[in-house]
Amino acid sequence: MPKLPAPPIPAPLKAPPPRPEESNGATSPVEHAAGAGTAVVDWVDERTSLSGAARWMMFRKVPKGTNWFYTLGSATMFAFLNQAVTGVFLAMFYRPDPSGGAYESVRHITNEVFLGQFVRGMHKWGSTVMVVLVFLHMGRTFFFGAYKYPRELNWVIGVALLILTMVMSFTGYLLPFDQRAFWATTVGVNINGTGPLIGPYLSDFLRGGAEIGSVTLSRFYAIHMLLVPGLIAALLGAHLYLVAKLGTTAPPWQKVEKAPELRETQA
């Protein structure tokens, strides 16, 4: 059957020209479904230009000799993500109430909530894993000389992240509010107090008063789940940006390979 001429309708009412992936609109439903993912990504990318950033971040050149030690930073990040995710779900059951409620809520999570023991265990042991990985990552950076120009600022950011990780460990230790938590925090805060002149005031600031009390627990809870995670996430972004921007270093044992035009010709 021959195709009929198009009716003389005004331009604004005409159907839009076919998109490149649509091939005159004559696709079967299967083909249409297969292209849905591409269409969605295209829709987002057309409005955000994110694909360039993703390509810049994901498809970087890495030096020859890159090895498993270079995964320690990512491992640390995944330890942090584990802490973030398990922490959010622990917060759904935890109650920062020093007159017995905090301990009771942790006991409830551990003994009664479905998978509560597992999620709490992931958070508790994950914190130790994160501290260990932070130090291994730091050691890798140090021994490979990866802190040198132009990566000094990334080392500084990394040190800030190390301190924030320690703050997380310190504030998180109080939250179960059992005997160990109470006395460990007592000792920790008093160690802060041994700094001359400002030390005693720092202790008061940490405790929210002269004694460990109701303010201390909610204060540590707020620092642990609101203040420091935000700071860590922000600095982690900056840390990753600089890694992508500056690239990674070759291991120190990697021989420098001269460009072909600089090689001396062997006689």
Partner 1 sequence: MGSLASKHDKQASKYTLDRHMPGAFEGETVTRRRFMTGSAHAAGVVAAMSFTLPALGFAIGPIFKTKPHTWETVGPTDMFPDNNYIPTVITLTPGIGEAGKGLVYVRQKNPAIDTDPYDKNTPYIAITSRCAHLGCPVRWVPAAERFICPCHGGVYDLLGRRVGGPPPRPLDRFYTRVVDVDGTAMVQIGSRFSVNSELQRFSPRDPGEPIDGLGQFAYPSRPSIRR
Q: Which residues bind partner 1 (CB under 8 A)?
A: 98-100, 177, 182-183, 186-187, 189-191, 193-194, 196-197, 199-201, 203-205, 207-215
Instruction: Name the residue nearer to partner 1 (CB basis): 110 or 186.
Output: 186
Instruction: Name the residue nearer to partner 1 (CB basis): 153 or 191.
Output: 191
CB of 234 to partner 1, least distance (A): 17
Closest by Cα among 82, 241, 74 to 157: 241
Distance from C-alpha of 211 to C-alpha of 219, rounded to nearest angstrom: 13
Q: Look up tokens 């420091």; give the residue.
A: 228
CB of 199 to partner 1, least distance (A): 7
Instruction: Name the residue nearer to partner 1 (CB basis): 44 or 222.
Output: 222
Instruction: Name the residue nearer to partner 1 (CB basis): 22 or 178.
Output: 178
* Residue 61 DSSP class: -
> Before 150, cis peptide (omega within 30)?
yes
Distance from C-alpha of 171 to C-alpha of 212, rounded to nearest angstrom: 13
CB of 255 to partner 1, least distance (A): 52
- Amino acid identity, position 117: Q
CB of 194 to partner 1, least distance (A): 4
Q: How deeply is 30 buried, as exposed, middle or buried, from its count of CB atoms within 10 A (0-12, 13-18, 19+)?
A: exposed
